[in-house]
Amino acid sequence: MWRWPSSRTVVTGIAVVLFLVCCVLPVAYLLTVPLSTGDVAYRALWLDARQQGLLWNTARLGVGTALLATALGAPLGLALARIDLRGKALLRIVLAAPVVLPPYVVALAWTYLGSGNDLSEWTYSLPAAVVVLGLVFYPLSMLATEVALRRIDGRLEEAAVLSAPPHVVLRRITLPLAAPSVLAAALVIFVLSVSEFGVPGLLRVRVYTTEVFTAFAALYDFSRAVLLAVPLLVLSLIVAMVAVVLAGERLVSTRRGSGIRPALPQQWQRPAEAAAITAAAIALGLPVLVLAREALRAESLPAIVEGSGSAIANSLLLASIGATAVVGVAVCLGYARARARGRVGQFADIVFVVAFAVPSTIVGVGLIGLWNRPGFVGALYGTDVMFILGYLARFVPVAALAIAATMRYVPVSHEEAAAVSGAGWLRTMARIVVPQIRLGLLTAWVIAFVLAFGELGVSILVAPAGEATLPIRIYTIIANTPPSHVAALALLQTAVILSPLAILGMAVAAREGR
């Protein structure tokens, strides 16, 4: 069916070109530019005790966050998959909500919580950064564990329950079968945590991402920023590839295990519900309440919002445009991935996950090096288009994987029937495929909008002079603005991000009440 020239080949080819230009070229640029610096620069870099300290801090941040997030998320995923919890659908949404919050906003709330008490010194430390990122990223482990448990063939557990108690079946059969997915999620969390810029920067923890930003934005040393980016980039790419190999087809597979999945003993229900409510209260409720308490100390909240009106409007407009562009490209890439098989599909998964794993500050430096040049290419530099390019570079891969998983629900036979009837591919997509995945596309758009609205690492580097988004505004005024003003803007950002989840939660609650 992939013949040339066909509308499907042309459209998919354009999407692939956009993906290469936005997501691959910035990374390729950073990997090729240091070749001109020679081996001396690399030897000086690796023998520098300062850089060894950065590497050690970065590794501790990643490992600590992955362990904490897995310790919190895996048991919650087990509870969602195997225990009959009350209001499970709504509870899942609440538990997953922290992952959509900008990590630096959560870190900001924890700085307010720890100020003026015995926790003030601990707040600005590596363990504090681990705790903040662990609370933000545990939903990834939770969801991966739940999906992995739901994919297990229930007949295996049914047969084991006949001769062994449930806790033995859980330890000897269920958890070992889910372990590859849990480990893959832990590796992804490791990559995301070592790639995070906002939390270490706010909590004054020296890691590679903060050093790359300082070298470029503060010292204007592009060569040093590139050299610092290479070790972090290589580490992120290797770990991301291992995670994809462990996950395999689970990244886009929608298959569920056959048979009835044995539930855990009923006496586990109350402890599981208590643990879930406690996790949601600490990871989501506490930061929001702290920000609200601090914001209410401001004299005039409308004046604060009005003073940052342009940044708020820029964020809403750019995030909307960026989310639309991301989904437009991702729907073509997701379709191609969903219809690919074997090694082609696995290679696509590796490329998508690796591209998403590239740290945001590295993407920003790569985009600047790629577009900040004279001539036609440089015409886009210094404009708001750089924000859109940054959103495309950061979020197309994850949107493509999400849409590919949704696209698997559409049988190929529907397209074949339309082709037999004489319908072209564009018409088939518009009339048959897209209507069946419209909820998936809407979800992908909301995710892309939320991520773009809270994006900081790329935006703070590529922002044109005099232009700012709400995340940039919040991050740059922390040092010289009253905490109540910063908290008010952070609370506004949180409200915008959580609004889609709140609407979804009300819809789920209404459906469960019928």
> Within 35-48, where are the H helices?
39-47
Q: Measure the CA–CA gap between 71 and 186, rounded to whole angstroms.
A: 10
Enumerate residues 6+ apart whose C-beta is below 8 A from 267: none
Q: Among all chains, which residue has been given the structure tokens 């040049």?
A: 373
Q: Measure the CA–CA gap between 450 and 191, rounded to whole angstroms.
A: 20
Residue 317 CB neighbours (<10 A): 13
In contact, 141 and 288? CB cutoff 8 Å? no
In contact, 334 and 403? CB cutoff 8 Å? yes
For 180, the token pair is 């590859």
Domains (ranges, CATH) in the chain? Answer: 1-33+299-481 (1.10.3720.10), 42-298 (1.10.3720.10)
Q: Measure the CA–CA gap between 67 and 104, rounded to whole angstroms.
A: 20
For 281, the token pair is 């209260």
Tell the burial category of 331 from Cβ atoms under 10 Å away from its Cβ (0-12, 13-18, 19+).
buried
Q: Measure the CA–CA gap between 485 and 294, rounded to whole angstroms.
A: 8
pLDDT tens for the chain, 514 residues long, are 445 457 888 888 899 999 999 888 888 887 776 555 554 455 545 546 667 778 888 889 999 999 999 999 999 998 888 888 888 888 888 899 999 889 999 999 988 887 766 666 788 889 999 999 999 999 999 998 988 888 776 666 666 666 666 667 777 777 787 888 888 889 889 988 988 888 998 888 888 888 877 777 665 666 666 777 777 777 777 887 777 777 665 555 545 554 555 556 667 788 888 999 999 999 999 999 999 999 988 877 888 888 888 889 999 999 999 999 999 999 999 988 888 877 787 788 888 888 888 888 888 888 888 888 887 777 888 888 999 999 999 999 989 988 988 888 888 888 888 888 777 888 888 888 888 888 888 888 988 999 999 898 888 888 887 778 889 888 888 878 888 899 999 999 999 888 887 777 676 666 655 5
Nearest Cα to 450, choosing from 285, 315, 350? 315
In degrees and rounded to multiples of 5, residue 291 shows phi and psi of -65, -40
Q: Measure the CA–CA gap between 197 and 104, rounded to whole angstroms.
A: 8
Number of residues that make up the chain: 514
Return the SS3 of 226.
Answer: helix
Q: Measure the CA–CA gap between 73 and 71, rounded to whole angstroms.
A: 6
